[in-house]
C-alpha cells in the first residue's frame, strides 16, 4: 500500500479541509483510514416518526411533503414544512436559516429524512435534520461512522473521503505475519479498516477495533524489545564482602532478592551502563538488594550514591547502612541540604578524593558543589518521587554510571515493561518469610472506642503504633481531625504512654530525633501526618490508624499501611471513615479491606485514575495510541507483549520472509518510547 498518497486526492478534500484534517493527525489517505470514529450512528432500522421518544428521539424514514407555511422567530422569517411518513404520522420540519429548502421540498415530493424529532403539545417537530433523495444517501439500513470534527469538516465530507480511501488503497495488505492472525484470532487488516468505518454490525466494529489496538500495541512492544540490548548469559559471582554481608544477616534472602541481585550484578559486570528498575511491593526488601549490589561496585574500586526523596528516609537508610556495611569496612557519608560549613567541606573532599565509598542523601547529592572521584553506581529510592531532571542531574555526576531505580508502585508487569520501556525490570514478588498479611478494619465513628482498646492491648505487648491524620492544626472549620488536637486527646486515652508529634513543619533534625527514639522503643506511638508515608521501616510497629481514610488515594493508603507488617508480628490497619462517604470512597476502602496485594490495588487505582497519574511525568506525550488504551487494555498489552517476545526470540533481526512485513511496519510507525 502506498503510504504517501496525499489526502487532497480524495473527493471533497481541498486545501482548507486538508488543514483541518492535519489537526486530527491525518495527512495521507493511509492515515485517514486510521482516523478512529468517535461513535457510530446505527441507522439499520428504519425509525418512523412515531418511534421518536425522549430516550431515543432519532427518526430515519421516508416522508412526503404536504404543505408549506411560515412563522416568525428570532432567526427571522422561518419556513415550516408539514410532512407525513409512510404510516401517515405527521411531522413539522422547522427550517431555521434554511429558507432555501422551500424550492427543494416541493409539495407532493418524497424524501428520506434523518434527525432527532420531539413531540411538542401533541405535534411532532424536527429542526435538526438531513434530507436525502434516496435511502442509500440517507444511510438508512447502515451503521455510519461519526468522526471527531474540527474547522469546517462535516461528517459527510469525511465519510465520502474514507469511502474513497478504502477503494483507492485496496487491496489493503496484512500488517502482521499470518500466523499471528490465526493465533490471536484477529481480522485481516483489509477487513478491519472497512469494518472500523462501515461495520455491518456493532460486533464487527468492536472486532476491528480490537485488531487495530492489538496491532498498535504489538508494534510498540516489538520496537521496545528491539531497542533493548540482548541479555547476557554470563555468570557474575558475588564478591567476598557480599557473601560476608549475607552470612551476617539474621535471616535468609528471599529467592526474588537473590535473583534481582544476580540480575543487577550481571549488568554491573557488563560493559553497557545499567538502567534497571527494581519493583517490589512495600516491605519486600528492596533496600537490602541495593546494599548488596553496592558492595559489588565498591569492591570494583568505584563509588556508590544512594538517593532518597526525604531527609527522614535518607537518615534511616544511612543508619541502616552504618549498621550493616560499616562493619565490612565500607566508608559511608551522609549528605543533605542541612549539612553545612566545615563538615560539608570535609564531606565533599572525601567524595572527590575517593575516601568515601558510599554516600547517602537527598537531592542534595546533585548540588553544584558535589563531585565524585569515580561514581560507578547510582541508586534512586522511591524513584517516582523524583523528576526526570533530578535523575539526570545525578547521572551526570558519574561517567556511564550504572543506575538502579527502586519503586513500590506495583503496576502490572506488562504495563511496567511498556511504560518503562528503556529500563530492564527486576521484580520482588515474594515477601520475606514469616510475614503475616496486615489485617485491615474499616472503623466507623461508633466503633472508635473499641479500636482504641485493641491498640491499647498492643501497647501492653510492647508493640508500637502510628496514628495518621490529614492535617497539622485545627484550621477552625472543625470537620477534620488534626494531629495537634489528637496528640492531646490520645495522651488522655493512653496515660503514661510516651508519644510524639511528627509532621512536615518540624525541623528535619527534630523529625529524625523522634524517629530514632521511636525505633529505639522510647516512644509507644507517633501522631503523624502522611510524612511517614514513604519508606519508614520500624519492624516493631504493629498498628496504623488512619483517620479520614476516605481522603487518601489508594496508592497513599497502601504505602501508609506498608509501615506495618514489616516483621513476623501480626499487625493491624484501622481505616477510620466519616459519614457521607461517596460511592467511590466506599469502593476504595473496600479494596483496601479486601486485599493486601499491591498489584491488585494498583490495578484498581489504574481503573480509577488512569496510567498517566501513576507514572508521574511520563504522562504527557509519551505514547500516542489511537486504538489501544493503557488503562483498559491490560489483557491486550499482555498478549501483544508475548507475541512480540516470541518474534524477537525467533528472529531478532526480522530477516525471515514472514517477518518482512514487520520490518517495514516498524520503519513506518512513529511509535517511539520516549527516552528519559
- Measured from the CB atom, the residue of 280 and 611 that comes closer to Mg ion is 280
* Vertex 321: Cα angle to 319 and 326 (nearest 5): 105
Q: Is 280 near Mg ion (CB under 5 A)?
A: no
User: Which residues share a beta bridge with 275?
Assistant: 403
Task: Give the helix/strand (H/E) hosting 211.
Answer: helix 202-227
- Measured from the CB atom, the residue of 51 and 256 that comes closer to ligand ADP is 256
The torsion region of residue 167 among left (phi > 0), alpha (psi -120 to 50) and beta comes to alpha
User: Grid coordinates in use for 149?
Assistant: 470534527
- Measured from the CB atom, the residue of 98 and 385 that comes closer to ligand ADP is 385
- Measured from the CB atom, the residue of 287 and 529 that comes closer to ligand ADP is 287
Strand-strand pairing, 90-95 and 76-85 = antiparallel
Closest contact distance (angstroms) between CB of 559 and ligand ADP is 9
Closest contact distance (angstroms) between CB of 536 and ligand ADP is 9
Mapped onto helix, strand or coil, the DSSP state of residue 540 is coil
Closest contact distance (angstroms) between CB of 564 and ligand ADP is 11
Closest contact distance (angstroms) between CB of 384 and ligand ADP is 13
- Residue 376 binds what, of Mg ion, ligand ADP, none (CB under 5 to 8 Å, by partner type)? none
- Measured from the CB atom, the residue of 401 and 564 that comes closer to ligand ADP is 564
Q: Mind giving me the DSSP string for 18-33?
A: HHHHHTTT--BHHHHH
Taking every pair of Cα atoms in the chain, the longest distance, rounded to a whole number of angstroms, is 102
How far is residue 46's CA from residue 153's CA, in Å, rounded to a whole number? 27
Q: Is 598 near Mg ion (CB under 5 A)?
A: no
Q: Which residues of 199-221 are buried (b: 16+ CB within 10 A; e: fewer)?
A: beeeebbebbbbbbbbbbbbbbb
Cell 565490612 locates to: 328
- Measured from the CB atom, the residue of 284 and 464 that comes closer to ligand ADP is 284
Closest contact distance (angstroms) between CB of 163 and Mg ion is 58
- Measured from the CB atom, the residue of 253 and 585 that comes closer to Mg ion is 253
- Residue 566 binds what, of ligand ADP, Mg ion, none (CB under 5 to 8 Å, by partner type)? ligand ADP
- Measured from the CB atom, the residue of 320 and 354 that comes closer to Mg ion is 320
Closest contact distance (angstroms) between CB of 374 and ligand ADP is 27
Closest contact distance (angstroms) between CB of 408 and ligand ADP is 6
Closest contact distance (angstroms) between CB of 518 and ligand ADP is 14
- Residue 282 binds what, of ligand ADP, Mg ion, none (CB under 5 to 8 Å, by partner type)? ligand ADP
How far is residue 61's CA from residue 58's CA, in Å, rounded to a whole number? 10
- Measured from the CB atom, the residue of 282 and 468 that comes closer to ligand ADP is 282
Closest contact distance (angstroms) between CB of 431 and ligand ADP is 8
How far is residue 258's CA from residue 214's CA, in Å, rounded to a whole number? 35
Closest contact distance (angstroms) between CB of 538 and Mg ion is 12
- Measured from the CB atom, the residue of 158 and 427 that comes closer to ligand ADP is 427
- Residue 398 binds what, of Mg ion, ligand ADP, none (CB under 5 to 8 Å, by partner type)? none
- Residue 238 binds what, of ligand ADP, Mg ion, none (CB under 5 to 8 Å, by partner type)? none
**Cα separation values, 417 from 225, 410, 411, 486, 638, Å:** 10, 12, 10, 44, 10
Closest contact distance (angstroms) between CB of 285 and ligand ADP is 3
Closest contact distance (angstroms) between CB of 580 and ligand ADP is 34
The torsion region of residue 495 among left (phi > 0), alpha (psi -120 to 50) and beta comes to beta
Q: Is 309 near Mg ion (CB under 5 A)?
A: no
- Residue 454 binds what, of ligand ADP, Mg ion, none (CB under 5 to 8 Å, by partner type)? none
How far is residue 192's CA from residue 211's CA, in Å, rounded to a whole number? 7
Binding site for ligand ADP (CB under 6 A): 251, 253-254, 257, 280, 282-288, 408, 432-433, 537, 539, 566
7 and 18 Cβ atoms separated by less than 8 Å: yes
DSSP code at position 47: B
- Residue 60 binds what, of Mg ion, ligand ADP, none (CB under 5 to 8 Å, by partner type)? none
User: Grid coordinates in use for 71?
Assistant: 412563522
- Measured from the CB atom, the residue of 284 and 659 that comes closer to ligand ADP is 284
- Measured from the CB atom, the residue of 535 and 611 that comes closer to Mg ion is 535
The residue whose Cβ lies closest to Mg ion is 535
Closest contact distance (angstroms) between CB of 598 and ligand ADP is 10
Question: How much helix, strand and coil, in percent to the nearest 5, is found in the chain?
Answer: 40, 20, 40
DSSP code at position 663: H
Q: Is 283 near Mg ion (CB under 5 A)?
A: no
Per-residue binding letters, 517-536, with Mg ion (x by CB under 5 A) = ------------------x-
- Residue 177 binds what, of ligand ADP, Mg ion, none (CB under 5 to 8 Å, by partner type)? none
- Residue 285 binds what, of Mg ion, ligand ADP, none (CB under 5 to 8 Å, by partner type)? ligand ADP
101 and 81 Cβ atoms separated by less than 8 Å: yes
Closest contact distance (angstroms) between CB of 602 and Mg ion is 16
Q: Nearest Cα to 26, choosing from 16, 34, 15?
A: 34
- Residue 365 binds what, of ligand ADP, Mg ion, none (CB under 5 to 8 Å, by partner type)? none
Strand-strand pairing, 525-528 and 499-502 = parallel
- Residue 598 binds what, of Mg ion, ligand ADP, none (CB under 5 to 8 Å, by partner type)? none
How far is residue 317's CA from residue 310's CA, in Å, rounded to a whole number? 11
Q: Is 285 near Mg ion (CB under 5 A)?
A: no
Mapped onto helix, strand or coil, the DSSP state of residue 138 is coil
- Residue 284 binds what, of ligand ADP, Mg ion, none (CB under 5 to 8 Å, by partner type)? ligand ADP
Number of residues in contact with Mg ion under rule CB under 5 A: 1
How far is residue 406's CA from residue 393's CA, in Å, rounded to a whole number? 17
- Measured from the CB atom, the residue of 145 and 280 that comes closer to Mg ion is 280
- Residue 558 binds what, of ligand ADP, Mg ion, none (CB under 5 to 8 Å, by partner type)? none
Q: Mind giving me the DSSP string for 59-125?
A: EEEEEEEEEEEEEEETTEEEEEEEEEETT--EEEEEETT-TTHHHHS-TT-EEEEEEEEEEETTEEE
Strand-strand pairing, 541-547 and 464-468 = parallel
DSSP code at position 477: S
- Measured from the CB atom, the residue of 182 and 323 that comes closer to ligand ADP is 323
How far is residue 404's CA from residue 264's CA, in Å, rounded to a whole number? 8
Question: Which residues, at least 6 apart from 565, have a Cβ–Cβ distance to it below 8 Å?
Answer: 283, 435, 436, 437, 438, 542, 571, 596
How far is residue 285's CA from residue 428's CA, in Å, rounded to a whole number? 8
- Measured from the CB atom, the residue of 145 and 283 that comes closer to ligand ADP is 283
277 and 676 Cβ atoms separated by less than 8 Å: no
How far is residue 662's CA from residue 646's CA, in Å, rounded to a whole number? 13
User: Which residues share a beta bridge with 421?
Assistant: none
- Residue 539 binds what, of ligand ADP, Mg ion, none (CB under 5 to 8 Å, by partner type)? ligand ADP
Closest contact distance (angstroms) between CB of 283 and ligand ADP is 5
**Binding residues for Mg ion (CB under 5 A):** 535
Amino acid at each position: 500500500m502506498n503510504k504517501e498518497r496525499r489526502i487532497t486526492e480524495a473527493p471533497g478534500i481541498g486545501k482548507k479541509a486538508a488543514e483541518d484534517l492535519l489537526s486530527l493527525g491525518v495527512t495521507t489517505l493511509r492515515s485517514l483510514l486510521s482516523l478512529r470514529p468517535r461513535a457510530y450512528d446505527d441507522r439499520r432500522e428504519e425509525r418512523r416518526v412515531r418511534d421518536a421518544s425522549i430516550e431515543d428521539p432519532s427518526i430515519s424514514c421516508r416522508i412526503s411533503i404536504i404543505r408549506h407555511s411560515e412563522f416568525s422567530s428570532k432567526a427571522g422569517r422561518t419556513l415550516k414544512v408539514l410532512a407525513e411518513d409512510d404510516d401517515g404520522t405527521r411531522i413539522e420540519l422547522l427550517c431555521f436559516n434554511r429558507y432555501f429548502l422551500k424550492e427543494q421540498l416541493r409539495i407532493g415530493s418524497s424524501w428520506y429524512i434523518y434527525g432527532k424529532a420531539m413531540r411538542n403539545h401533541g405535534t411532532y417537530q424536527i429542526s435538526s435534520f438531513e434530507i436525502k433523495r434516496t435511502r442509500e444517501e440517507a444511510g438508512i439500513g447502515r451503521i455510519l461512522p461519526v468522526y471527531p470534527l474540527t474547522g469546517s469538516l462535516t461528517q459527510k465530507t469525511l465519510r465520502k473521503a474514507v469511502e474513497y480511501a478504502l477503494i483507492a488503497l485496496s487491496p489493503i495488505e496484512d500488517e502482521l505475519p499470518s500466523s499471528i492472525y490465526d493465533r490471536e484470532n484477529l481480522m485481516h487488516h483489509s477487513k478491519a479498516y472497512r469494518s472500523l468505518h462501515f461495520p455491518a454490525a456493532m460486533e464487527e466494529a468492536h472486532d476491528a477495533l480490537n485488531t487495530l489496538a492489538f496491532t498498535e500495541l504489538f508494534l510498540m512492544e516489538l520496537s521496545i524489545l528491539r531497542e533493548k540490548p540482548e541479555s547476557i548469559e554470563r555468570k557474575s559471582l558475588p564478591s567476598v564482602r557480599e557473601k560476608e554481608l549475607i552470612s551476617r544477616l539474621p535471616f535468609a534472602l528471599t529467592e526474588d532478592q537473590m535473583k534481582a541481585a544476580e540480575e543487577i550484578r550481571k549488568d554491573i559486570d557488563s560493559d553497557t551502563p545499567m538502567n534497571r528498575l527494581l519493583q517490589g511491593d512495600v516491605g519486600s526488601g528492596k533496600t537490602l538488594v541495593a546494599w548488596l549490589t553496592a558492595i559489588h561496585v565498591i569492591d570494583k574500586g568505584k563509588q556508590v550514591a544512594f538517593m532518597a526523596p526525604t531527609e527522614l528516609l535518607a537518615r534511616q537508610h544511612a543508619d541502616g547502612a552504618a549498621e550493616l556495611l560499616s562493619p565490612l569496612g565500607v566508608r559511608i557519608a551522609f549528605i543533605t541540604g542541612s549539612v553545612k560549613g566545615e563538615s560539608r567541606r570535609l564531606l565533599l573532599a572525601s567524595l572527590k578524593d575517593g575516601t568515601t565509598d558510599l554516600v547517602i542523601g537527598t537531592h542534595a547529592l546533585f548540588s553544584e558543589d558535589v563531585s565524585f572521584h569515580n561514581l560507578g553506581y547510582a541508586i534512586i529510592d522511591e524513584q517516582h518521587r523524583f523528576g526526570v531532571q533530578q535523575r539526570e542531574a545525578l547521572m551526570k555526576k558519574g561517567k556511564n554510571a550504572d543506575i538502579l531505580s527502586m519503586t513500590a508502585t506495583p503496576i502490572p508487569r506488562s504495563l511496567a515493561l511498556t511504560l518503562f520501556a528503556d529500563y530492564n525490570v527486576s521484580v520482588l514478588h515474594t515477601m520475606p518469610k514469616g510475614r503475616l498479611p496486615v489485617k485491615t478494619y474499616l472503623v466507623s465513628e461508633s466503633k472508635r472506642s473499641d479500636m482504641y482498646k485493641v491498640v491499647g492491648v498492643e501497647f501492653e505487648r510492647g508493640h508500637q503504633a502510628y496514628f495518621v491524620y490529614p492535617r497539622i492544626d485545627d484550621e477552625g472549620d472543625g470537620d477534620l481531625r488534626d494531629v495537634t488536637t489528637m496528640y492531646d486527646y490520645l495522651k488522655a486515652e493512653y496515660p503514661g504512654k510516651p508519644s510524639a508529634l511528627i509532621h512536615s513543619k518540624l525541623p528535619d533534625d527534630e523529625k529524625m530525633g523522634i524517629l530514632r527514639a521511636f525505633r529505639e522503643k522510647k516512644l509507644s506511638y507517633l501522631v503523624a501526618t502522611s510524612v511517614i508515608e514513604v519508606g519508614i521501616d520500624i519492624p516493631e510497629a504493629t498498628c496504623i490508624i488512619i483517620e479520614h481514610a476516605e481522603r487518601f488515594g489508594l496508592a497513599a493508603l497502601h504505602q501508609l499501611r506498608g509501615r506495618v507488617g514489616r516483621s513476623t508480628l501480626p499487625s493491624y490497619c484501622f481505616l477510620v471513615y466519616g459519614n457521607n462517604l461517596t460511592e467511590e470512597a466506599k469502593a476504595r476502602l473496600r479494596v483496601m479491606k479486601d486485599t493486601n496485594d499491591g498489584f491488585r490495588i494498583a490495578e484498581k487505582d489504574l481503573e480509577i485514575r488512569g496510567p498517566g497519574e501513576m507514572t508521574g511525568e511520563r504522562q504527557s506525550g509519551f505514547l500516542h495510541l489511537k486504538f489501544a488504551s493503557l488503562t483498559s487494555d491490560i489483557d491486550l498489552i499482555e498478549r501483544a507483549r508475548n507475541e512480540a517476545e516470541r518474534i524477537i526470540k525467533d528472529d531478532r533481526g526480522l530477516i525471515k520472509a514472514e517477518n518482512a512485513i514487520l520490518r517495514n511496519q516498524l520503519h513506518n510507525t512513529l511509535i517511539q518510547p520516549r527516552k528519559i
